[in-house]
């Protein structure tokens, strides 16, 4: 599997209490909830490279005094010893420990939803992740929320995954999952390959409930996950069009647009992306905006009023350039691509009688069914 598809796991820590004897001079290096000293970032990478790591799990901490840093068992994770006849337990740390926890997390998702795709498991892990308060304080860079978010995501990815959030849809937090496939490109006789499919999904927002909330601030989180095929003749992961077989993008209808206007804008955006003239989305309510289009998993958070969200009832998935289209000699232009998409709405506790989950269950037969149409 290419590194673009692999879920890269970094380390954070909640271990700050040193319990060993004669360690009064030592303090924990990383703050509670902050990036572990064992973890690395992608801050210095090329702008076009994937966001790495995507998530962080517990990886332990180190202690420091006036002279140096030292490792302590109380700041590491407990595990079984490799020579069980000599001793039962040992400790480990760093991204090895964090990766083990990520494997456990994925296995627990599969245990509950054994039939979902690997793309969906990866999406659920990333979608459920959140930054801790310590991370937000630890990596302050830039003056705008978008500048701060793009720096933070290069340091700790999308944060710490939450298993309850990944597997449950609480009454005031609604999650919808789509598993689908499209054909990104086609080649008509006598012509060069061109873009083919664009999926438009109608999302069954509980509009009446959202309108009842009015000016209450809400959040919509979208995660799009798919696997690319790396270019067999290129190792340049930062190559925007030469390395991935295909790329996918998502966009959401704006509250002031008609459906016809939304579809027209999508067509323009798809054409601009093909020609390399695409610009950052003008919708300022997205946290990352165009920066989300890295690698093969894209997550972004929209923040606005409930009334505004009620008018955003469609989301589109459309292809961007890839070598399936540009390397015509390999004849890959008719291949299909799977994707998983997760959309969730989070509403704060308010003194208004609103139950999003019940309202949407009254509209559809199953909470993961979303009507879609294909534009060719």
> What mean pLDDT is predicted for residues 352-369?
60
- Helices 94-112 and 118-127, axial angle in degrees (round to 10): 120
On average, the pLDDT of the chain sits at 87
Q: Residue 54: give the domain boundaries.
A: 9-156
Q: Is the pLDDT of residue 41 over 50?
A: yes
> Does residue 2 lie in a domain region?
no
> Does residue 322 lie in a domain region?
yes
DSSP 50: P
> Does residue 3 lie in a domain region?
no
- Under a CB-based contact definition with an 8 Å cutoff, are residues 5 and 296 in contact? yes
Q: Quote the pLDDT of residue 339.
A: 97
Q: Quote the pLDDT of residue 369.
A: 39
Q: Is 163 exposed, middle or buried (0-12, 13-18, 19+ CB in 10 A)?
A: middle
Same domain, 134 and 203: no
Q: Quote the pLDDT of residue 366.
A: 43
Same domain, 209 and 347: yes
Q: Is the pLDDT of residue 253 over 60?
A: yes
Q: Domain end: 98, 131, 156, which one? A: 156
What whole-number distance in Å separates Cα of residue 219 and Cα of residue 113? 26
Same domain, 201 and 346: yes
pLDDT in tens, 175-227: 889 999 999 999 898 888 888 999 999 887 778 888 888 889 999 999 999 99
> pLDDT-derived band of residue 240, with 50, 70 and 90 as boundaries?
low
- Under a CB-based contact definition with an 8 Å cutoff, are residues 12 and 110 in contact? no
Q: Quote the pLDDT of residue 202.
A: 87
What whole-number distance in Å separates Cα of residue 242 and Cα of residue 245? 8
Same domain, 21 and 125: yes
Same domain, 139 and 284: no
Same domain, 192 and 132: no
Q: Quote the pLDDT of residue 100.
A: 96
What whole-number distance in Å separates Cα of residue 330 and Cα of residue 310? 45
* Residue 232: cis peptide before it, omega within 30 degrees of 0: no
- Classified as helix, coil or strand, 1 is coil
> What mean pLDDT is predicted for residues 114-141?
95
> Does residue 161 lie in a domain region?
no
pLDDT in tens, 47-103: 889 999 999 999 999 999 999 999 999 999 999 998 888 899 999 999 999 999 999
Q: Quote the pLDDT of residue 159.
A: 97
Q: Is the pLDDT of residue 149 over 70?
A: yes
- Under a CB-based contact definition with an 8 Å cutoff, are residues 9 and 159 in contact? no
Q: Quote the pLDDT of residue 174.
A: 76
Please, what is the Cα angle at 115 between 114 and 120, to 5 degrees?
A: 95
Instruction: Give 263 or 14, the one with higher predicted confidence.
Output: 14
Q: Is 257 exposed, middle or buried (0-12, 13-18, 19+ CB in 10 A)?
A: middle
pLDDT in tens, 295-354: 999 999 999 999 999 889 899 999 999 999 999 899 999 999 999 999 998 887 776 666
Same domain, 181 and 215: yes
> Dihedral of the CA atoms 124, 200, 174, 336 (nearest 10)?
-20
Q: Is the pLDDT of residue 370 over 50?
A: no
Same domain, 239 and 324: yes
Same domain, 86 and 202: no
> Does residue 1 lie in a domain region?
no
Among the listed ranges 16-25, 152-161, 236-245, which one has the minimum average pLDDT value?
236-245
- Residue 121 β-bridge partners: none
Q: Which among 148, 147, 129, 128 has a CA at the least distance from the CA of 139?
A: 148
Q: Quote the pLDDT of residue 108.
A: 95
Instruction: For 35-53, give one letter per residue: b (16+ CB within 10 A) or e.
Output: bbbbbebbeeeeeebbbbb
Q: Quote the pLDDT of residue 229.
A: 92
> Does residue 212 lie in a domain region?
yes
Query: In 206-258, where does DSSP find H-type helix?
Result: 207-213
pLDDT in tens, 257-282: 989 999 888 888 777 666 666 554 56
Q: Which residues contact 213 (CB under 8 A, 6 or more apart)?
A: 306, 307, 347, 350, 352, 354
DSSP element (H, E) containing 191: none
Q: Quote the pLDDT of residue 212.
A: 86
pTM to 2 decimals?
Answer: 0.90
> Does residue 48 lie in a domain region?
yes
Same domain, 181 and 70: no
Q: Quote the pLDDT of residue 173.
A: 58
Same domain, 86 and 184: no
Q: Quote the pLDDT of residue 367.
A: 39
Same domain, 183 and 63: no
Q: Domain end: 134, 156, 178, which one? A: 156
Q: Is the pLDDT of residue 236 over 60?
A: no
What whole-number distance in Å separates Cα of residue 129 and Cα of residue 242? 30
Q: Domain end: 156, 177, 200, which one? A: 156
Percent of the chain with pLDDT over 90: 63
Question: How many domains is the chain partitioned into structurally?
Answer: 2
> Does residue 201 lie in a domain region?
yes
């Amino acid at each position: 599997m290419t590194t673009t598809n692999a879920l890269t796991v970094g380390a954070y820590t909640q271990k700050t209490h040193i319990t060993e004897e004669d360690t009064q001079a030592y303090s924990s290096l990383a703050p509670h909830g902050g990036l572990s000293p064992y973890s690395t970032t992608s801050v210095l990478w090329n702008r076009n490279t994937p966001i790495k790591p995507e998530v962080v799990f517990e990886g332990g901490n180190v202690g420091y005094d006036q002279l140096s840093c030292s490792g302590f068992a109380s700041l590491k994770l407990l595990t079984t010893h490799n020579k069980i006849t000599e001793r039962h337990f040992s400790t480990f740390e760093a991204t090895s420990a964090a990766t083990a926890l990520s494997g456990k997390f994925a296995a627990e998702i599969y245990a509950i939803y054994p039939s979902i795709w690997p793309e969906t498991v990866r999406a659920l892990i990333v979608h459920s992740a959140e930054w801790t308060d310590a991370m937000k304080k630890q990596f302050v860079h830039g003056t705008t929320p978008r500048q701060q978010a793009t720096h933070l995501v290069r340091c700790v990815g999308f944060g710490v995954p939450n298993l309850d959030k990944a597997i449950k849809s609480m009454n005031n937090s609604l999650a919808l999952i789509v598993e689908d496939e499209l054909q990104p490109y086609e080649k008509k006789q006598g012509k060069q390959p061109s873009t083919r499919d664009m999926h438009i999904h109608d999302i069954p927002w509980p509009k009446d409930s959202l309108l009842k909330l009015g000016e209450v601030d809400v959040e919509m989180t979208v995660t799009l996950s798919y696997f690319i095929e790396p270019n067999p003749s290129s190792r340049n992961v930062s190559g925007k069009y030469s390395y991935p077989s295909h790329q996918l993008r998502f966009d959401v209808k704006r509250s002031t647009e008609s459906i016809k206007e939304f579809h027209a804008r999508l067509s323009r955006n798809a054409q601009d992306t093909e020609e390399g003239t695409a610009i950052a989305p003008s919708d300022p309510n997205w946290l990352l905006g165009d920066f989300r289009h890295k690698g093969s998993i894209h997550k972004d958070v929209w923040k606005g009023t409930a009334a505004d969200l009620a008018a955003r009832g469609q989301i589109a998935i459309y292809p961007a350039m890839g070598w399936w289209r540009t390397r015509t000699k390999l004849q890959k232009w008719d291949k299909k691509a799977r994707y998983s998409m997760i959309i969730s709405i989070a509403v704060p506790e308010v003194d208004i009688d609103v139950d999003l989950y019940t309202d949407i269950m009254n509209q559809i037969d199953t909470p993961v069914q979303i009507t879609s149409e294909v534009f060719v």
